[in-house]
Structure 1
């Protein structure tokens, strides 16, 4: 297999192993149902403007529609072990078995949890009621937390989690170096690479204002340079980014589970982009034969 063929196979594998992140609005239900493949994995953010209950409500509705749902349980938006137990029971009743645990909003007044780790420890004390638990990874420096602290936090959280979702970066080299460093620290959890799809600036601004910005969009709002790159025509191309990152992500030992697509509720546009890219790559594959993406070492298990 040539280098170009190997790159194509890595990209096919990435684009067929995807999760879609949405913000908890009623309108997004219809768009997800009309646009995404049956049974697709959809993660639902925790919006400080709407509260944790909005996340649970949308997650339950999506689960009832047959989607594989991953609600965000933002630690600082949950009052303590009692509420966590109620949330767990509610999600189990909806047959939701996966969660993602970020720290969440910075306002800890009246809240028992000050970090994601504390909530993760309580989930472990409850007997690990969810089959999959995701935590955040930061290829770029966090705007308010020193790199040493984010590294330590991942090390502390790894024993309670089953996967890592990387936050935004627009530099393929930064992503590759970060994954390499994570593996060098013997953190071997599968990584979903966080990737914004092709978003429209006006829609992104409107959604950010409407939702109170939300977990992922808050990060953009606090980092003007990143916002400019994602929303300015010619400033960011997800296909170009993936193409440049593919060789590194496909190396043995990287254990990349797939893509975590930040849709900012532009679900139809994101899915149209994904399917168009996949069709283009599969067309290239015909020129050199059919090699199954699952034969690659991209998405191995730990």
Structure 2
């Protein structure tokens, strides 16, 4: 990929973002203080706290003018009756987008043991949401065989409007996964899951706040974040994006933007995004040439 195009990819991705938050006390204030109105904010679902807290946070953020995407974890919902109630409640709040993972509730609360039957019930109800996201796994899921996650994406594709990738810290793995998804003829736009610059101490505090059982699940899913933050040199989101830019910038692969895992470090994540965007633009203005890798970032 030429120099001009790689810089374009970084700028485009940094401009097309949404922010994931955990439904902890104070998160609405953190979002309100850290993000402009109109920003897209996704709210996760916690088996230990129940779906009610997710819906409450979504309603409060929507009332403040945010574009809210609550997680409707299928295994936390008892069946079509409760789903209809949730749908009506979200529509009343002006929420038009949802993300539908299977979720971690074990055992399931009722009829939905995976995301697919819930997605099918939403379709039967007339597609009440304009956007419906499903999960993609660039790396193996800790509790599901790779063949099953591949088949699940294929089965769910007709009921969804986009795929949101889970975390990976290997740009080659991400790029390979995006290409494989397209080779399987799944054509939904992809949002790349990316943690911002995360502070280890704050991550530990978040893991403590969300409860013992939930923290175990959190660490199982995101333990790589801790390892990367603690490693020499730490984790650099921009270096990661730059190394994957050749694939992420291909129009035919339809990578639509970034899904930023904030771990409730909302203001810090947004400050990082704005600063990196300014650096991309600033270096371009200074040199008059768009660099393949932005100088000073130590890109490989």
Distance (Å, rounded) in 2 between the aligned partners of 1:120 and 1:90: 17
Q: CA-to-partner distance for each residue in 1:9-38, whole Å, 9 max, x for gaps?
A: 100000000000000123111111111122
- Give the root-mean-square deviation of aligned CA atoms: 2.1
2:4, 2:212 → 1: CA distance?
Answer: 40
TM-score (norm 1): 0.91
Structure 1 residues 127-276: aligned runs within 5 Å:
127-212=126-211, 218=217, 220-222=219-221, 224-230=223-229, 232=231, 234-276=233-275
In the alignment, is residue 82 of structure 1 matched against residue 78 of structure 2?
Answer: no
1:220 Cα shift?
A: 3.9
Do the aligned partners of 1:200 and 1:231 also contact (CA within 8 Å) in 2?
no
Say whether residues 1:283 and 2:282 are aligned partners: yes
- 3-state SS of the aligned residue for 1:186? coil
- Using the TM superposition, give the Cα deviation of residue 221 of structure 1 relative to its aligned residue in structure 2, in angstroms: 3.0
Greater shift, 206-215 or 80-89, is seen at: 206-215
Partner residue of 1:121? Answer: 120
Distance 1:215 1:242, change over 3 A: farther
CA positional deviation for 1:225: 4.4
Distance 1:129 1:231, change over 3 A: farther
SS at match of 1:89: helix
Moved more, 13-22 or 204-213: 204-213
Q: CA deviation at 1:226?
A: 4.8
Q: Secondary structure at the match of 2:250?
A: coil
Shift of 1:237: 1.1
> What is the rounded CA distance, in whole Å, between the counterparts of 1:262 and 1:216 in structure 2?
16
The 1-side partners of 2:191 and 2:219 are apart by 19
- What is the TM-score with the length of structure 2 in the denominator? 0.91
Q: How has the CA–CA distance of structure 1 residues 11 and 217 changed in structure 2, closer, same or farther, with 3 Å as cutoff?
A: farther
Distance in 2 (alpha carbons) for counterparts of 1:106 and 1:55: 15
Distance in structure 1 (CA, Å) of the matches to 2:214 and 2:195: 14
Distance 1:253-1:288 versus aligned 2 partners, 3 A rule: farther
Kept in 1, the 8 Å contact 2:207–2:215? The answer is: no
Please, which runs of 5 or more residues in structure 1 have no aligned partner? 292-302
DSSP 3-state at the match of 2:253: coil
| Partner SS, residue 135 of structure 2 | strand
**218-227 or 154-163: bigger deviation:** 218-227
Structure 1 residue aligned with 2:297 = none
2:64 maps to what in 1? 65
**3-state DSSP of counterpart to 2:251:** coil
Secondary structure at the residue paired with 1:253?
Answer: helix
Give SS of 2:147's match: helix
Deviations 1:234-264 (CA, angstroms, capped at 9, x unpaired): 2311111111111211013110110000000
Change (3 A) 1:56 1:231: farther
Question: Are residues 50 and 154 of structure 1, via their aligned partners in 2, closer, same or farther at CA, if it must alter by over 3 Å?
Answer: same
Asked whether the 8 Å contact 2:4–2:289 carries over to 1, the reply is no
CA-CA distance at 1:233 after TM superposition: 5.8
- Between the aligned partners of 2:265 and 2:165, the Cα distance in structure 1 is 20
Match of residue 12 from structure 1: 11
What CA distance in whole angstroms lies between the structure 1 residues aligned with 2:243 and 2:127? Answer: 38
**How far apart are the structure 1 equivalents of 2:222 and 2:14?**
27
The DSSP-based 3-state class of the residue aligned with 2:259 is strand
Deviations 1:264-302 (A, max 9, x none): 0000111111011000001122246699xxxxxxxxxxx
Query: Does the CA-based 8 Å contact 2:70-2:97 persist in structure 1?
Result: yes
Question: By how many angstroms is 1:134 displaced?
Answer: 0.1
